[in-house]
């Protein structure tokens, strides 16, 4: 009986620690190369222009310019036909990235309101927009609704 109690007491902490399981690794942050990888998938408009100016990015996505470490945005050049875009913003900290998610959602909503009357073909792309945050980075992808989410998910 004493041996049984001893084993239970000795093994209890081990069992509790095993129940916790290993820590799951944090999602890898997005990089500017991820934007290029998405662009290369062919799921976006053929005519995309590059923006890498922090001031313009901060204005378009309603984010704090001083918190941006690096950024890139590829956007359709003919907005009467397409609202496709790929944006990756690397922030100086995770809190700024968390706040930026709302700015990216606002950008998509603004685009839907702006384009619903004169570019209705772009609306399904915007409604299927993918917004992801990983660490101190955020990513927005607006493209072919049939494959954009899977393409983003395959980055990591």
The backbone torsions φ and ψ at residue 127, rounded to the nearest 5 degrees and listed phi first, read -65, -25
**54-104 residue pLDDT tens:** 999 999 999 999 999 999 999 999 888 899 999 999 999 999 999 999 999
The predicted model gives 127-133 an average pLDDT of 97
Q: Give the pLDDT confidence score for residue 109 in this predicted structure.
A: 97
Residues contacting residue 124 through CB under 8 Å, at least 6 positions apart = 145
Whole-prediction pTM: 0.82
């Amino acid at each position: 009986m004493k041996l049984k109690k001893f084993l239970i007491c000795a093994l209890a902490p081990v069992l509790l620690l095993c129940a916790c399981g290993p820590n799951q690794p944090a999602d890898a942050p997005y990089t500017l190369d991820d934007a290029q990888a998405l662009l290369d998938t062919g799921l976006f408009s053929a005519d995309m222009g590059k923006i890498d100016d922090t001031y313009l990015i901060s204005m378009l996505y309603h984010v704090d310019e001083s918190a941006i470490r690096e950024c890139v945005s590829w956007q359709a050049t003919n907005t009467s036909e397409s609202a496709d875009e790929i944006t990756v913003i690397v922030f100086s900290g995770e809190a700024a990235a968390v706040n930026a998610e709302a700015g990216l959602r606002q950008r998509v909503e603004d685009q839907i309101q702006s384009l619903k009357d004169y570019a209705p073909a772009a609306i399904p792309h915007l409604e299927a927009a993918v917004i992801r945050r990983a660490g101190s980075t955020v990513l927005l992808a607006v493209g072919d609704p049939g494959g954009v989410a899977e393409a983003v998910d395959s980055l990591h």
